[in-house]
Amino acid sequence: MEMTRSRLGRIFSKIPTLRTGRLTLRKLLPSDYRDMYEYACSRQVTEYLLWSPHADADQTYRYLEALQQSYRRGEFFDWAVVITETGKMIGTCGFTSFDVENRRAEIGYVLNPAFWHNGFAREAVLAVTEFAFAELGMNRVEAHFIRGNDRSLRVMKSCGMVFEGMLRQYMLIKGAYRDIGFCGITRDMFSGSGYYRRVKEIGRFGRPAR
């Protein structure tokens, strides 16, 4: 079935739960506010993001509460990244945009620094990439990063994405023009390189989060 904007909305209005070997990717909930605030308040985390640190936990709670309406409308495409064994929410991963006509999706992600260097970002990105190709019929998945964010670039490359170039002063971010790097992977690259099989071995698409 051909993917359309309205079909995307129906899918994400009841965002499905994705499970990997160690992680559960589910709908973000207002009750996640304490876990999210742990990293959303950090300048280290937000240095290479489009948003600034949250001022307090109340801001985080209000943000998550407002997201519930966006979910219901099928207009928000991020999952909470949760360690299955402990139930700890450690970040988010999902789609920042879609070009439905050209079957292209952009992925974004952020992780609590306390859980860096454990392969969690890679595991989440691979699950979301698989979902894009297998469930949404996308032909290309891409991710962008601000120059200097070498950690994020390493995650992209570890997921099979290819660095495609840097666009100078491409975005005005927090008052400064920033260079933006582009990485991408296509459906034929993903399946042919073995990433699709590897994710399929650990991936189980569950029921929608309520």
Average pLDDT of every residue of the chain: 90
5-201 has CATH 3.40.50.2300 classification: no
Structural tokens at position 148:
């200097």
Give pLDDT tens digits for 173-182.
Answer: 999 999 999 9
Asked whether the predicted pLDDT for residue 155 surpasses 70, the reply is yes
Number of H helices, E strands in the chain: 8, 9
Asked whether the predicted pLDDT for residue 197 surpasses 50, the reply is no
Q: Give the mean pLDDT of 153-165.
A: 96
Instruction: Give the DSSP per-residue string, 177-209.
Output: EEEEEEEEEEHHHHHHTTHHHHHHHH-EEEEEP
Q: Which pLDDT value is given to residue 3? A: 87
Structural tokens at position 43:
């300048």
Q: Give the mean pLDDT of 70-76.
A: 96
Q: Which pLDDT value is given to residue 204? A: 43
Q: Are 88 and 26 in contact (CB under 8 A)?
A: no
Distance, in Å, from the CA atom of 171 to the CA atom of 177, rounded to the nearest integer, reads 5
Q: Domain spans of the chain?
A: 5-201
Asked whether the predicted pLDDT for residue 193 surpasses 50, the reply is no
